[in-house]
Each structure stands twice: as C-alpha cells, then as structure tokens.
Amino acid sequence: MNDGVSHDRRKDWFLWGIVLAAVASIPFFVTFVNAFRGISQEKATGLAAVAGGVTEGYATVGLVLTFILPVGAIVLLCKSFSGGQLLRKVFSLLSICWSVFLLIFFGVGAWMIFVQFPQLTGGPR
C-alpha cells in the first residue's frame, strides 16, 4: 500500500542527489579550464604551475560547493537505492563515486593550501 509513496520518495531522492552531484562538479570543471588557460597564456611549465593554478581556483569556490553538496548528494543517492531499478543503481553508484572523488580532491587542495604552501614559503606552521 505504501510502495507507491516509497517509490516516489526514492525517485525524488535520486533526482535531487543527481542534481547535487552535478552542481558540485561545475566548479571543478571551470577551475581546470581556467587553470590550464592561465598556464598556456603564461607559458608556464611543471607540476607547480598546474597545482598552483588549480588550487588557487578551487579555493575560491568555497566550502558549500565543495563539501556540503557532495555529502548531501551521497546521502540522497544512498537513500534512493531500490530493488529492481538497475539503471537508477548504476547512475547512483557513478554519482556517489564522483562525489567521493570531489571530496578527496577538496581534501588534497585544502591540505596543500593550509599545510604545504606555508611550509614552502616559510610562512607560519
């Protein structure tokens, strides 16, 4: 009797989870495009040029888009798993993996900003 309500709720969770995962990905792609555009304009080479451009761009995005949205997407997508919906499970799993990747990327970027760069420049530890 409540299967229809449960199915609709899971569908809504799935759709909102996909939207949150996609919205969190937009700054990621914009950051990479801007970083590589700056590198090509300045004729910079090496890993330091890439890491600096990506980290600087990604740091401006903010905590909301890089932490809260992927976590919300993971929660909603985990709730949306249902029996017999293979395509929904596949998209949910891919979106969960992408959101986890974004969280790892954010963590590495934060580590570089707050730990590595101050050590390299001789700033406060």
Q: Where are the domains of the chain?
A: 3-121
pLDDT band at 48 (very low <50, low <70, confident <90, very high): low
Is the confidence at residue 125, as pLDDT, over 60? Answer: no
In the predicted model, what is the mean pLDDT of residues 24-36? 73
Would you say 66 and 58 are in contact if contact means Cβ atoms under 8 Å apart? yes
Residue 19 CA to residue 7 CA, distance in Å, equals: 18
